[in-house]
Structure formats: C-alpha cells, structure tokens
Chains A and B, each alone.
Chain A
C-alpha cells in the first residue's frame, strides 16, 4: 500500500461529488466564453450598428448565462467541498482507528503532539487539496488545452510557437517540485515540534510553575517558534524563485503574439482578424500558467502531509488480534507464566519468570522500583509480548486469544492514574458506558469513593480536569479502582492503587474487596506489606526475577527480602504488640467492627 493508494481508497467513496464537480468545469468554462461574446455583440450590433431591437434578447442571454454559470459553479464548489469533507471524515476515522490499534511500544516512541499534528495540520493540507487544488488544476489544464486547440484552428504556425513554452514550463515545474519538497518536509517537522512543545508545556504546567521555569519555557518556546518561522520563510524564498518564472513565461506568450505575430501579419502569413481573435484567447493561456506555480506548491504540500500521515498509520502494531483468535466471553481467571523473559531496548526487564495462579486466588507482588512488577501485568494484558516463554490465561496462550476478550476479562487500575476530562460518573463507567447509575454508585462504594464524591457540590456530575486535576492523589486512585471494579472482570489488577490512600481507607477497601461475592483472581502490586499480607501467594521480584514465592508466613520464615522489608516497615511491632496501648486499641477496633457489623 502506498500513501496514494490509501488516499485514493478513501477519496473513491466520494467520487460522485468529484465527478459532478469535474463535469461542471468544462460547462462553466464554456459558459465563460459566451459572456464576452455577448458583450461584444452588444457593442458591435447595438451600439455601433444601432440595431436596438436585439438588445433585450442579448441582455437576457447575458443575464441567463451568468446566472447559470455562477449557479453551476456554486454546485461544483460545494460538491468539491463535500468530497473533501467526506474524504477527510473517512481519513480521520481511519487514522483514529489505527491509533487505537497501536501498541504501547508505538506510544513510547511517538510524541502526543506529533500524532496530533497528523490529525490536524496535515489533514488541513489534504482538505485544501481536495476542495480547491483538484478542480483548480483540472480547470487550468482544461482551459489551457482548450485555448491551444482554438489557436490551432486559427493559425497553426502561431500555435506551434506558443507550444514552445511548454518545455520550459515542464522544466520549471521539475525544479520547483524538486526544491520545494524538502522545504515542506521541514515545515511539517517544525509544525510537529511546535505542537509537541506546546502540548508538553500545557500538560506539564504544574511542574513549570513549581520550579518557576516560565522564563526557561519561554526561551525554549522562542527557539521552536523562531525555527518554525524561519522554515516558513525559507520555503517562501524558494517559491519566490519559481513562481515569477511562470509569470515570465506567460508574458513570453504575449510577446510571441506581439512580435512574431505582428510580423506574420505584415508578411501576410496571418490575417489581422486572426491576430485579434488570438489576443482574445491569450488570457486563457496565461492565466493557467500564472497559477501553475501556486498549484505546484499546494500539491507538494499535500503530498508531504499525506506521506506524513501515512507513515504514522502504516506502522504495523506488533501486537495484533491473532487470525484464529479464541473468543471467550467469561474467563475463570487462572494465570500461568512459563519461563517468561521480556527485554526492551537490549535491557532485561523480566528474566525467566514462571508461576501459576488458580482462579479466585489473590496474588501479592512486591519488589524494588523498576524490578518489573508492572511489566508482569502488562504482559498479562498483552500490552507487550513476551520475548521468550508464554503467558497463559485459563490455559490459553494469550497470543492465541482474542485481544478484546482477554482485556475485557481483566480490570486494571493503573499506577499512573489517568482520568478523562469528563464527569466522575463518566470516568467510573469508562469500561461500561451503558451501565446504570446504581452500578456506578456500587463500584464507588466498594472503592470507598462514594462519600467524597457525594461531598462534592455536583456529586457524580462533577467534571474532573484532564488527568483528574483538582482531585487528590488518593481520590484519583479510588476512582480508578471503581472504574476497574465496574467491569466485573475475572482478573483484577491493582497496580499500586492504594499508595496515596491512607491506611484506614485502605483497610476498608480491602474488606470490601474480600466481601465481593464471586471470587476473582486479584493481583495486588504494592510496597506496603499491609496491602498484600493476606494474599494466597506473594511474589517477590528483584531485577526481573522472582526471588521469593509463598505466603506471608512462609516468606517471613525464609528471612529473605520480604522479611527485611517487613521488619523495616513494622520493626516496631514487636515492641508495640505487647504494650497495653496497642492491646487497648485493638480491643476498641474489634468493638467498633462488631458495632459496624
């Protein structure tokens, strides 16, 4: 597939509008020829010869052709607009679809601002091309050829002479295309960079302000803004070289008719009448020639943008739905990793990881920062594919499973909570947009979010800012947890979901989770021992390997990494547990729990 085939496949759907538009062009052009003739007749017949009775008819003809011509021109332009908007809609749809399919690796490499440029600035170049450039080009070519043919019927010699400019036109076109393309490529690049810079500055506005780095940001922005301007001006200098050449060539045509033409008349190789007629057609040759330079610019701009868009979408995602995908509506939730190794950029992230989890079990994962905990979960959801080894869910290799049915069965509350600028209800219902309010409320209650949401002036209808701006870290985490719970998945992944939540709330959340009726397989990634202590299995990860595996008690016995962490966090407990304060506290707690129950 080339960019042009891809473009054509979308344009074709709106071909009828283009055909309507293009059919109208010759008619409109032909009508354009009638008007000067009618005006001429009025001058000659009515004014000079005094044939006044013809006037009403001629005027009627004049008005009728003008109205007809501008009427069908309107139809033509609107058809081209329709074709352009229709194609654009379909291109946007296809690009968006493609972006949704791209895997994490793609997004790790491409900046948001760059991808946005494809959908905005580059699309606009395509819009202009279909709506304007196509018909302008066809019209120019048509008018030019028509004028040439007319000239041939008038005087062959003269017409041949006129054709002489064509090779020069072709040459200029060739050089313009060659030299302008790099300028446009650069221009698109700078546009992307400017876009990316603005995008990051806006997203990172908190950091900018916290470090009082406004001046620095402005300085960096100036650089991007300057180079964007420079590149635009560089481009202008290039086309300022070629566009006047076309202007000059069009004047050469005038010159040809003036000097050799007049001499031919004097030598009686052509009549004076012929020369008059030819001078009437001359504008039909020069006007297209004058616009040629601009059109070439527009076409090059279009080609650059199209290629740029295509290069983005033609990237094949590594992770795709397999061809004979196994579709499973409801998974039971067993998980098995078999000698899984994952490396990215020559760096081992996971190394020969194996474990097996039965449906309904709770798994705790603990380990140093960057040990590979999140990667483990990303492999389970097949956001990445293992470099070696296999991941099985319900004894089915995830690579053979339908991607959607796999992910639908996994509810993930991610570490880096991303909320959309939508209502809280909309955010919680993200995975199930059509669910009832009661269900949303239920999920929020389980995640211990209901009370703080209700305390907001607009409750569940409160719109949260992009990335959940305005909410505290713990509040965002709880909304994200509610969002994951609502999909009622077979497997729940809580990736550091309660790190910003206070202890008491966390305890309540855990109680709620255990109370959930049907048992789900739960993965909890955490740093606090309290979050994972009750898990059926605890995996300790270090440097991409599972170094310890077992229950809390077993791992404490082992006196390894887990035990060290435990003692660091709760070393004081030994001293505390026998103190009267603590015993009193626990008694209070139990009493409260009884009352609560």
Chain B
C-alpha cells in the first residue's frame, strides 16, 4: 500500500466475514457467566412483567364484580413484589452488562495496543498517526454498547420471540404461519439493503478517520500553519473533510432509519392479512378458527413484532460497529515484519564487537539504500559516519538496532547474528539517540529516566550533568520536576537534544549510537560535553553521526558514506592522507575562511 495521507481513504485489505464475529465472541467468552446471568434475569423479569396485564384482567373480570377485596389487595401487593424484583434485576443487569462490555473493550484495546508496540517503524511512517489513534480509542469505544446491551437484549428478545411463536403455534398453526410469512420478506429486504448499508458505514468510518487524522496533524503542526498564515486554507480543508464526514454519516444513517418503516409496513400488512384471512376462515368454519381464537391471536401480533423491531435495530448497530471492528482486527492482523525468529535467544551481555558483512538494504519502494556495506568494529572503538545527507548514515545505525530487516548480508554483534536474537534483548543494551528528540509529556526527570526506569534521582542527575543539561534544568523554577510536553516548547531544540542525550546515557548501553546528537547544541556546551563523553565512551562501542567534523575527528575510524556505499574508511589522519572525499569535506569547512 502506498503511503496514506489525510484525504486518501484507506482501503480495506480483508473483507468482513463471520470469522471476525467469531473472533469477537472469543473476547466475550470469559464473561459467558455474567452474560448468562444477565440473560436469565432479564427473561425471568420480562416473563414476570407479562403477569401484570393478567392481574388487571382478573381484577376487572372477576374480583371487582365479585367484590373480592382480599384478592385485589393480594394481586396488587404481588404486583409490587414483582416490581421490586424487576427493579433489582434491572440494577443487576445494568451492572453486569456494563462489566462485560467494558471488560471486552478493555481487552480488545489492550490487544490492539500491544500489537501496535510490535509494529515496525514502517507502519507508523506509512499513515497519518491520527488514523492509528482513532482505532485505539474511538472505534473500540464504539463497540461497548453493542457488546453489552446489544448482546443481552438480542438474546432476551430472541427468547421472547421464540416464546411467542410457540404460543401462536399452539393457538393456531395456520394463522401463525401467516404471521410469520413476514419474516422471510423482511430478511430478503434486509439482505438487499445490506451490501449498500455496509459500504455506507465503511465510507463513514473512512471519513471519520480522515477527519481525525487532519485534526491531529493540524494540532501538531500549528506553529507551521500560523507562521505560514495558512489558517484559511486549512479551515477550508477541514470543513471539506468535515462535510464529507457529515454526508457519509447522513447517507449511512439513512439506511438504518429505513429499517423501521420497513418493519412497520410488513407488520401492518401481515396483521391485515391475518384479519382478512382469519375472518374469512372463521366465517367459512375452516381450521377450527373461532372468534375467541382470533381475538386471542390478535393480542399476540404486536408482541410478535416488538422483538423483531429491536432485533432489527441490533442488526443495524452490528453493521455500524462491524465497519469499526474490521479496522480493529485489520490492525491486530497487520503482519509484524521485524520480529523475533522462532528460535531467537536473548542477546548475551554485549561486549561490543560489531560487524557488517556485505549488507544490502532497500525500503519497500525497492530503491537500494545500502549496497554491500562491510566493516568491522572492535570492542570499545568509536566509529564516526559521515557523508552527504541522504547517503544512508542513519540507515546503517537503524539496521544495527534492527529497526528494519536487511535485504541480504549479515550483521553480527560479538559474532552473533542479530537476526537470531530477541529484539528487545538487543535494543535494551544499546543506547540510541535519535535525530528528532521526542519529549514525552511529564517531568524532565521522567523523560530522562525513560532510558532506565530503575535509575535513582541521583543517577538521573549525574547523567544530566554529564551532558551539561543540569545547569539549565536547575535554572527552571521547578528544576527536574518541571513539566514539559510533547511539543516540548518550553525547551529549546538544543535543550531537548541534551535531555534525550541524557536519556540515552542513563540506559548504560554497551553500544552507544548518536545520530546528530549535538546538531542544535552550541560549540561551548558541546566541548564541555565531549570531555564528559570521553570518559563515558571508554569501554563502549560507539557510532557517531555528525556534520560538525570537530565532533568526529577523534573517532577511531571514520566511514565516509555516499549513495549507500562506503567510499572511504580509516582514521582522520589516514583519510586526510588519502586526499579523497573526506579530505575535501574536511577542508570545505575552512574554505570560506580563505576567501
């Protein structure tokens, strides 16, 4: 699938089948007992509630004419007892169904989230984040009502429907069959509409997802929007998406609303048929139909259609929810391309020897990013990677952390193929400082501690001091407890880099990877930082990507990368000697001074 953006509808890879409903049933499975309890209680209480009209009949037909006051009092009190029972069972039902519904969506959401943690970078790179988010939160929430009240009500209604059908059949088979002949007609109509209705709800969920994605991006990119005075254009795009969503909703909801008139029409037509046929048969003396039978029968007709109406509306919400459900399952089924091999073992404590053997790599688009890259790093050495932007520097270190799978070749650490070890055990021993320093909302302390949750406050502070972040943190009013957020706007870019640097250090990694770790940091701070860093790097293997060559001059080895290939390899002096690309790059720093 090509990369998605806010105004492109996501295609659905797998169609819906009943297997997915079965899957949902598995989530409900653990709460079978609660469900059954709720259903039994509801059946009993609806059976009991049917007694009240009978009591009325008895009172009016028998007790009042006979002035049987004891009987009246008895039945009235019995009604109240029943009422209390109904109230209690209603209360129990509300609590039970909510428990089931909330637990099921809780479990579903958890599975979805856990799977999202497994999915590789490429999954997140390929679609707007708002579209992923809407699945985790909104779509899952939409299922709660279906799962709780929906199922219980449906089963209770099905039971009462069966009950009534049996009743009708015992009174008169012929009339019962006439009454039921409406059902296949309804089924056919529902079936005909179904395809369009499903499609309509799929479109609706797409449009909702698009709108959501746009809102998320608008909020995250608000600074750019305001600085480019794009407000009006964005407002128009937003309104367009909002109006698409509105039309999609109206279109879809129309199908749902049509169901009720359809049921009404069929029910009134079958009822009329019963009157006409019934009276004809009664007059013809056919099939043992007497006036009494007919009258009793008509009493059940409305009871027959009530559960059907609620069943139909359950069907409606099922169709609506299914368009969300299939998206949720689609995400859960998204294959994890970067995953542990079945026979993967934990990476033993890393010594720090790293080797790339003829590594090739291409993204999904098929363009080769790395071409036969080979090099070998001894334990404790520091390697610098330089080269033009887009040459593949970040790719090399991404492969080392196994963020992507290599196309061919082999990467080993301490002689162990990294494809054969568990990803987590590998990454846990590496400290990576990424190019864009992401700050989580929370305190500065929490953000640094993200690298190592067991670290004490003192250790956090030591890490901050090592990267020269301590001073500016202390200048803030609340020091390490200062709350920062994702956009991290209270912090300058350089400060954010220092914080994520401290985070990487705190992880106490055996292999340290610094990708443009100091690009936004001023020279003075950087120099101080390097003193601390030198101590720290002792005994650790490290990879450093930087454009400021002062940072990398002291590296044990420098890889000059261009177009996915290692062009030059050696230490600073060797490469200068060579008078090749690195030499040019190095001198180009100074060329402006000569002019």
Contact = CB atoms under 8 A, between A and B. Distances in A.
Contact of A85 (B82, B250, B389, B477): B250
A408 B493 contact: no
Interface string A564-594: 1100111011001100011001100100000
B268 A232 contact: no
B60 A272 contact: yes
Contacts of A214: 117-118, 424
Interface stretch (B22-30, B85-93, B312-320): B85-93
Nearest to B484: A108
Interface string A437-465: 00000000000000010001100000111
Nearest to A82: B250
Contacts of B365: 457
Interface stretch (A43-51, A146-154, A161-169): A43-51
A214 B594 CA distance: 52
Interface string A212-229: 111111100110011011
A475 interface: yes
Interface string B520-562: 1111110100000000000000000001111000000000000
A115 interface: yes
A1 interface: no
B592 A473 contact: no
Nearest to A241: B91
A594 to B, nearest CB: 14
A211 B587 contact: no
Contacts of B584: 504, 585
A265 interface: yes
Given A195-B133, A500-B516, A229 B102 contact: yes
A77 B477 CA distance: 56
A99 B125 contact: no
Interface in A246-275: 247-248, 251-252, 254-255, 258-259, 262-263, 265-266, 272, 275
Contact of A577 (B63, B136, B257, B593): B593
Given A97-B235, A421-B6, A431 B230 contact: yes
A207 B435 CA distance: 10
Contact of B257 (A48, A77, A99): A77
B407 interface: no
Interface stretch (A330-338, A361-369, A389-397, A512-520): A361-369
A470 B125 contact: yes
Contacts of B258: 74
B231 A212 contact: no
Interface stretch (B9-17, B71-79, B188-196): B71-79
B275 A266 contact: no
B592 A533 contact: yes
Interface in A481-507: 483, 487, 496, 499-505, 507
B161 interface: no
A245 interface: yes
B401 interface: yes
A85 B246 contact: yes
Contact of A70 (B243, B261, B525): B261
Interface in A263-297: 263, 265-266, 272, 275-276, 279
Interface string B64-108: 100101001101100110111011101100110011001101100
Interface stretch (A173-181, A196-204, A300-308): A196-204
Which of B73, B269, B426, B493 is the most central at the interface, judged by chain A CB atoms within 10 Å of its CB?
B493
Contacts of A276: 60
A96 interface: yes
A48 B284 CA distance: 15
Contacts of B132: 202
Interface in A403-421: 404, 407-408, 410, 412, 414-416, 418, 420-421
A358 B337 CA distance: 56
Nearest to B3: A463
A467 B91 contact: no
Contacts of A39: 271, 298
A92 B238 CA distance: 9
B50 interface: no
A107 interface: yes
B179 to A, nearest CB: 14
Contacts of B294: 47
B489 interface: yes
Nearest to B118: A214
Given A198-B133, A218-B113, A370 B472 contact: yes
A582 B594 contact: yes
Contacts of A470: 125, 363
Contacts of B434: 206-207, 210
Given A67-B265, A244-B91, A245-B87, A569 B388 contact: no
B522 A502 contact: no
A73 B260 contact: yes
Contacts of B20: none
A111 interface: yes
Given A202-B124, A276-B60, A414 B279 contact: no
Interface range for A: 35 or more
Interface range for B: 35 or more
A55 B502 CA distance: 89
B567 to A, nearest CB: 14
A52 interface: yes
B31 interface: no
A430 interface: yes
A234 to B, nearest CB: 10
A58 B525 CA distance: 94
B408 interface: no
A155 interface: no
Interface string B264-304: 11011101100110010011000000010011001000000
B390 A475 contact: yes
Interface string B215-257: 1111111111111111101110011001100100110011001
B250 A81 contact: yes
A190 B170 CA distance: 53
A237 B95 contact: yes
B199 interface: no
B438 A589 contact: no
A172 interface: no
B87 to A, nearest CB: 4
A119 B372 CA distance: 49
Nearest to A239: B94
A478 B102 CA distance: 48
B523 A474 contact: no
B276 to A, nearest CB: 7
A156 B427 CA distance: 81
Nearest to A72: B261
Nearest to A528: B548
Interface in A525-550: 527-528, 530, 533-534
A112 B73 CA distance: 63
Given A74-B261, A195-B133, A255-B80, A248 B269 contact: no
Contacts of A201: 113, 116-117
B229 A473 contact: no
Contact of B64 (A88, A272, A472): A272
A237 to B, nearest CB: 6
Contacts of A247: 83, 86-87, 90
B494 A472 contact: no
A416 to B, nearest CB: 6
Contact of B269 (A42, A63, A412, A502): A63
23 contacts: A59-B275, A93-B235, A96-B238, A108-B487, A111-B441, A120-B137, A203-B486, A204-B486, A206-B438, A211-B503, A212-B424, A221-B110, A240-B94, A240-B95, A243-B90, A251-B87, A262-B72, A369-B495, A473-B436, A474-B388, A496-B519, A577-B593, A585-B583
Given A39-B271, A212-B428, A502-B547, 19 more contacts: A66-B264, A67-B268, A108-B490, A194-B137, A211-B503, A212-B423, A213-B450, A229-B102, A241-B91, A248-B83, A262-B64, A368-B524, A383-B227, A414-B223, A502-B585, A504-B588, A527-B520, A528-B548, A573-B590
